[in-house]
């Protein structure tokens, strides 16, 4: 059985691909900015954290390490975000090739669901951590989003992964049908 022809002129797919690439670029820039900010803050820790460290009854280095730890957590979440977008890009490209009902896409959707769940839970943990750190200084703002729509997205991705796995099995059956 032949697969459908590639859809190189499909506007939706083109927009989705470019949007995903743009988002990956933005997340990448955010990662670099966060890493640089973390390094600068840690190097300038005496000026930056003397006051909040005293308020938290900690050494400056200890408090700075806590802040950098929060930023590292943010970096990890952004890395998960990049991986999520990269997986989405692979799915978009497989649709463009005209052959989306493959077991690889079911696995990709499942991976995206786990990634989104990790981002949601990690974001919640980071938000709580940031709130705790923010008690010691007004200038510390570690915020992270946690939304019901994100959780619904996780569920939708898990269900879609099942749909794709089922669709792939059905297509395999159809392939040998004359």
The answer for residues whose C-beta is within 8 angstroms of residue 13's C-beta and 6 or more apart is 7, 92, 95, 96
- Residue closer to another protein, measured from CB, 11 or 177: 177
Q: Does the footprint of another protein cover residue 5 (CB under 8 A)? A: no
Q: How far is the CB of 170 from another protein (least distance, A)?
A: 12
d(CA 104, CA 161): 10
Q: Which one-letter DSSP state was computed for residue 4?
A: P
Q: Does the footprint of another protein cover residue 11 (CB under 8 A)? A: no
Q: How far is the CB of 4 from another protein (least distance, A)?
A: 16
Q: Does the footprint of another protein cover residue 175 (CB under 8 A)? A: yes
Tokens for 87, please give them: 């997986």
- The separation between CA 148 and the C-alpha centre of its own chain, rounded to angstroms, equals 16
d(CA 109, CA 106): 5
When binding is defined by CB under 8 A, the residue of 5, 11, 148, 177 that contacts another protein is: 177
Gap between the terminal Cα atoms of the chain: 9
Site for another protein in 69-98 (CB under 8 A): none
Site string for another protein, 144-173 (x = CB under 8 A): -----------------------------x
Give me the residues that bind another protein (CB under 8 A), please: 173, 175-178
């Amino acid at each position: 059985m032949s697969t459908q022809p590639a859809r190189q002129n499909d506007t939706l797919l083109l927009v989705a691909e470019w949007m995903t690439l743009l988002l990956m670029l933005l997340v990448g820039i955010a990662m670099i900015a966060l890493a640089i900010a973390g390094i600068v803050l840690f190097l300038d820790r005496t000026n930056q954290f003397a006051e909040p460290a005293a308020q938290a009854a900690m050494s400056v280095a200890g408090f700075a390490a806590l802040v950098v730890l929060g930023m590292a957590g943010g970096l990890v979440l952004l890395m998960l975000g990049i991986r999520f977008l990269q997986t989405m890009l692979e799915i978009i490209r497989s649709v463009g090739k005209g052959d989306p009902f493959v077991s690889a896409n079911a696995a990709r959707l499942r991976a995206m669901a786990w990634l989104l769940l990790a981002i949601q839970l990690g974001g919640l943990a980071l938000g709580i951590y940031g709130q705790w750190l923010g008690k010691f200084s007004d200038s510390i703002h570690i915020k992270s989003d946690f939304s019901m729509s994100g959780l619904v997205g996780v569920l939708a991705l898990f269900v879609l992964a099942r749909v794709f796995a089922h669709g792939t099995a059905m297509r395999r059956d159809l392939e040998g049908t004359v």
